[in-house]
Amino acid sequence: MKKLTIKSWATEDRPREKLMSKGASALSAAELLAILISSGNKKESAVDLSKRILASVQYNIHELAKLSVKELTAFNGIGPAKAITIVTALELGKRRQLESFIYKPKIHSSQAVFSMMQPQIGMLAHEEFWVLYLNNANEVLSKYQLSKGGITATLVDVRLLFKKAIELSAVAVVICHNHPSGSLNPSREDKKITKKIKEGGLSLDIKLLDHLIITEKSYFSFADNGEI
């Protein structure tokens, strides 16, 4: 029995033709994935195989992006080349989302910070501490990873944080880090670092606007909760 390929379908049912005639937004996630893998296996069409792959992650694209090449090749019909194609496409999507903030996005709320940083640190298995440097208009001049691997007073170099702020002529900063555990509760160390950075900026006239703890699906804002 031959593989069920997209070319064997009726023209109106082919994802590529549907994309050409109606646009990418008209396609389901399974149809988009089917275009990437092109063919299924002896028992499933590309779309049916794509549906099964998506079902394994509860149709959640964020969860799909976490699958490794090895995990994807466990599905019958997905070889290394197809798995690499899927991983590459999802990585490009992630980078596109990140690059949408290249042109000095304006920070107007904690939600704006979360939208900017969640794709970068929300799904990491380790902790990272980042700083957003802002100008008078609350536009992001730069974002900088200050530490990686764990958040402690010894790892977060407050002097470096403010050195870069002065170099950029920043007037305010927003700090954020992720909790791989998914907990949104600030630790004693989180509170200690927040206080240290806030106090450090007073003499330099550089204001700490907020500190966000970011998880995959949500965040905790020190400012929103009256803790700054």
More confident residue, 102 or 10: 102
What pLDDT score does 103 carry? 60
Question: Does pLDDT of 9 surpass 60?
Answer: no
Average pLDDT on 37-60 reads 94
Does domain 6-99 fall under CATH 1.10.150? My reply is yes
What pLDDT score does 10 carry? 47
Average pLDDT on 142-164 reads 82
Average pLDDT on 85-113 reads 84
| Domain boundaries along the sequence of the chain | 6-99, 110-221
pTM of the model: 0.59
C-alpha to C-alpha distance for 110 and 113, rounded to whole angstroms: 5
Question: Does pLDDT of 154 surpass 50?
Answer: no
Axis-axis angle for helices 29-37, 46-55 (nearest 10): 120
- According to CATH, the topology of domain 110-221 is Cytidine Deaminase; domain 2 (3.40.140)
Consecutive H or E run containing 212: strand 207-214
Say which residues have a Cβ less than 8 Å from residue 160's Cβ, sequence separation at least 6: 146
Which residue is it, tokens 């806030």? 198
